[in-house]
Amino acid sequence: MRSVRVIPCLDVDDGRVVKGVNFVGLRDAGDPVELATRYDREGADELVFLDITASSDDRDTIIDVVRRTAEQVFIPFTVGGGIRSVEDARRILRAGADKVSVMTAAAERPALIGELAAEFGSQCVVVAIDARRSDAVPSGFEVFTHGGRRQTGIDAVGWAREAERLGAGEILQTSMDRDGTRDGFDLEMLRAIGSAANVPLVASGGVGGLEHLVEGAREGGADAVLAASIFHFGEFTVAEAKAHMAQAGIPVRL
């Protein structure tokens, strides 16, 4: 059977979990390993760590978080942020992560996707696509990089197709228009990306309530739904989210 995964996302800045609105205005949400352990206990299907300081210097901080998480947490987890090479990915994977997520570096140099897939297998390679609605590209969804600050002129739908061709094993799609707004996923964007790529699709950006998770799976066609702040600040537990989805008829692991 097909089941839909629920994935808490932890944005990690200098060893702490933070969460912002539209990628700015950060607010402290705790220790990443403590949160990861709690989400595992509550039934999270996977975890994502995004190292949002990664472009700058302190890579060892996230390696330490990964290593400590791997001691405690026996569900899959992905690490993204600042991974630019096979060697960057190797360090993260050797520390205990299961997958790496690439975004800016892959958009700038698409061959990176193939290099990672050849070295570690496609199942290890998540291509993150941050997109916004835009008139600049045919599909109306344009890729943005550098934490949403830089417009690329790349069509998100074509890029998803290309990423799969190059060896991506999963696509993590974030609507930058919705991120932090609590208005729900951009379902049209999800459907557009999902129809272009035949690898698992993770929906991200905009979750404000449990119904949004149901919509992402049912109307957006997502294979996994990712959320951050609704979990971090104690609004809902992961268990409540999954119970709600199950009640709505979405197959989830309970």
Partner 1 sequence: MIGGPVVAVLDYGIGNLRSAQKALQRVGADARLTTDPGEIASAAGVVLPGVGAFGRCVEALEASGLAGVARTAAEQAIEGGRPFLGICVGLQLLYEGSDESPGRPGLGILEGRVTLLAGDVKRPQMQWNRLDAAAPDGDGARHPLLAEVAGDAWMYFVHSYAAPLGPHTIATCEYGTTVCAAVGAGNLWATQFHPEKSGEAGLRVLRNFVEGVDGR
Interaction of residue 198 with partner 1, rule CB under 8 A: yes
Instruction: Report strand pairing: 47-51 vs 24-30.
Output: unpaired
Write down the least CB distance from residue 86 to partner 1, Å: 13
Catalytic residue among 88, 130, 186, 223: 130
Closest CA to 148 of 8, 52, 14, 7: 52
Instruction: Report the residue number, 129 or 154, with the smaller CB distance to partner 1.
Output: 129
Give catalytic status of residue 135 as yes or no: no
Closest CA to 223 of 248, 237, 204, 241: 204
Write down the least CB distance from residue 146 to partner 1, Å: 28
Instruction: Report strand pairing: 5-13 vs 47-51.
Output: parallel
Interaction of residue 248 with partner 1, rule CB under 8 A: no
Indicate the SS3 state at residue 141: strand
Give catalytic status of residue 51 as yes or no: no
Footprint (CB under 8 A) of partner 1, residues 78-97: 93-97
Indicate the SS3 state at residue 126: strand
- Alpha-carbon gap, residue 45 to 129, rounded angstroms: 21
CA distances from 141 to 149, 158, 179, 207 (A): 15, 10, 15, 19
Identity of the amino acid at 179? D
Interaction of residue 60 with partner 1, rule CB under 8 A: no
Structure token digits, residue 134: 């835009």
Write down the least CB distance from residue 66 to partner 1, Å: 9
Instruction: Report the residue number, 29 or 47, with the smaller CB distance to partner 1.
Output: 47
Beta carbons of 63 and 41 less than 8 angstroms apart: no
Residues in contact with partner 1, shown as a per-residue x/- string from 128 to 167 under the rule CB under 8 A: ----------------------------------------
Out of 199, 207, 210, 217, the only residue in the binding site for partner 1 (CB under 8 A) is 199
Interaction of residue 70 with partner 1, rule CB under 8 A: yes
Residues that bind partner 1 (CB under 8 A): 1-5, 40, 45, 67, 70-71, 74-76, 93-98, 118, 120-124, 169-170, 198-200, 223-224, 253
Catalytic residues: 11, 130
